[in-house]
Amino acid sequence: MPEVTIDIDVDDIMNTWAHPILDDQNRYLILYGGAGSGKSVAAAQKLVIRMLEEKGHKFLVVRKVANTIRNSVWSLIRGTMADWGVSHLFKINKSDMDITCVNGNQIVFAGLDDVEKLKSIHGITGMWVEEASEVLQEDFQQLDLRLRGFTANYKQIMVSFNPISITHWLKDVFFDKRKPNATVVHTTYLDNMFIDDEYKRTLESLKEQDPYYYMVYALGEWGIVGNTVFNGQKVTDRLSYLRKNPNVVKRGSFVYDYVNERIVDKSIKFVEDDAGYVSIYETPQPKTPYVIGGDTAEGGIDNSVGQVLNNVTGAIAATWKGHTDTDLFAKQMYCLGKYYNRALIAIETNFDLHPVKELQRLRYPRQFKREVFDEISKTTQTKYGFQTTRVTRPVIIAELVAIVRENVELINDIDTLNEMLTFVRNEDGRPEAQEGKHDDTIMALAIAHKARSQQRMTLIEDDEGEYEYSGAFGRTGY
Ligand SMILES: Nc1ncnc2c1ncn2[C@@H]1O[C@H](COP(=O)(O)OP(=O)(O)OP(=O)(O)O)[C@@H](O)[C@H]1O
Ligand SMILES: [Mg+2]
């Protein structure tokens, strides 16, 4: 079969954001975001380049509905070939809708509703699922299974779509679970150098006309459906901002020596690790008081979470989130608290008293206190930890709702913002996470805000020795 070589300058024909996708060999290449960002064009370009440069291919291009193919992916791919002056290298079969290159490579097109045709296609070596938000998860899984076995080149499924709903399976599969073999590329019209001002103005006008469309098609952020408790627009704007201005200073975990049933304070170290449980947005600042709100996992799949707030500004300084046994969670909170200038720690006690007790046993110096009236002895007792009740829960949530509305810039943690978008009012009016979603980061943050009143809110004076900045364990001993 003849070799094909073409000489194209990608700088002229491709958007800058699309250059790296040409070399990307991950199994899943996820192109998502707002309308008109150039996702479909980029996928078509990559496909045509692979058709020309590699050998032994049979690409499958799919959409949900067969009769939408001709006016979209089919004409886009043919247009790309024409633009690059390479149409003569391809044989076009209009009636069956397939394209064969002189080097033997093939592209076949099918709609998921064309079951017979799909069944008849064998030996697929690569795929593009266009407008994947229309596709059911089961159908996608079936497609995924079809790209298996030996192929001469790397096997990749390109997936392009607009993020129409935060509850969509695509969010769960490729974002929440963070597949290691997926490359995720987010783009909006602002990343497309080939669109005109008129198109830009149209998208921007959505801001006034329809906040949902603006969110999904202009900002390219996950659309919110349903009655969210937090202000969705504020949360989405913040997410958008953080995407462009990443704010994680470092990620990692705490390690420590454990001797005679105690944590050795001087041994506590923060070890950087991208997969670590702690995301730090502000390293401990001298003379600054901090508080930590904690929520323990209520079983298997839940996370335990600790939210650290700078108690002068109210901003999230760090978020600890992970799966671990409650005693280890307590030890991690101990380290986090010591790291942040002996922060005041408020941990939820409803599900499990263990972390609070464990912190006491470890002699952690500063825990949130609550007054409990004892019916038998008719006395008021002071206990450690925060208790979420029918009364306290709505109050702390309402306070957090107000913070998001007035000062969303205090929320530095992306996971927390994401949880806020799926935190809704159920049929009984009770605010809770949508089915299959979590609210641990929200509850931990609400508790942290509640705890602020038991910690000072101004910088620590020099003569207040006990609060002295530890320089992350450098200077003062405990
Ligand atoms: N590399 C390119 N060269 C020339 N024009 C381009 C290029 N990329 C994008 N465009 C122009 O931008 C328009 C929008 O691109 P495209 O259709 O790929 O966007 P999209 O991200 O797939 O949008 P949607 O989310 O609406 O499907 C195209 O119709 C085309 O006019
Ligand atoms: Mg498109």
Instruction: Tell me the pLDDT tens digit for each residue of 107-123.
Output: 999 999 999 999 999 99
Does the CB atom of residue 188 touch ligand 1 within 6 A?
A: no
Locate tokens 């059911």: which residue?
136
Whether 63 lines ligand 1, by a CB cut-off of 6 Å, is no
- Ligand 1 contact via 162 beta carbon (within 6 Å): yes
How far apart CA 330 and CA 263 sit, in angstroms, is 11
Nearest Cα to Cα of residue 332 among 386, 256, 440, 249: 256
Which residues pair with residue 251 across a beta bridge? 279
* 3-state secondary structure at position 352: coil
How far apart are the C-alpha atoms of 78 and 200, rounded to whole Å? 26
Tens-digit pLDDT profile for residues 30-88: 999 999 999 999 999 999 999 999 999 999 999 999 999 999 999 999 999 999 999 99
Q: Which of 474, 426, 460 is nearest to 268 (CA)?
A: 474
What is the rounded distance in angstroms from the CA atom of residue 459 to the CA atom of residue 357?
29
Q: Residues of CATH 3.40.50.300 domain(s) within the chain?
A: 10-225
The CATH 3.30.420.240 portion of the chain extends over 250-467
User: 10-225: which CATH number, 1.20.1340.10, 3.30.930.10, 3.40.1190.20, 3.40.50.300?
Assistant: 3.40.50.300
Looking at domain 250-467, its CATH class is alpha beta
DSSP E strand boundaries for 48-171? 58-63, 90-93, 98-101, 106-111, 126-130, 157-161
**Per-residue pLDDT, 4:** 61
The Cα–Cα gap between 297 and 459 comes to: 33
Question: DSSP label at 410?
Answer: G
Residue of the nearest CA to atom 3 in ligand 1? 13
The 10 Å Cβ neighbour count of residue 86 is 18
Mean pLDDT of the residues in the chain: 92
Q: Quickly tell me which residue has 């779509």 as its tokens.
A: 161
Tell me the CA–centroid distance for residue 334 and ligand 1, in Å: 51
- Taking only the tens place, the pLDDT of each residue in 302-339 is 799 999 999 999 999 999 999 988 899 999 999 999 99
The reported pLDDT for the residue numbered 285 is: 97
35 C-beta closer than 6 A to ligand 1:
yes
Q: Say whether pTM exceeds 0.85.
A: no
Q: Hey, whose CA ends up nearest to atom 6 of ligand 1?
A: 194
Instruction: Check whether 477 has a pLDDT greater than 50.
Output: no
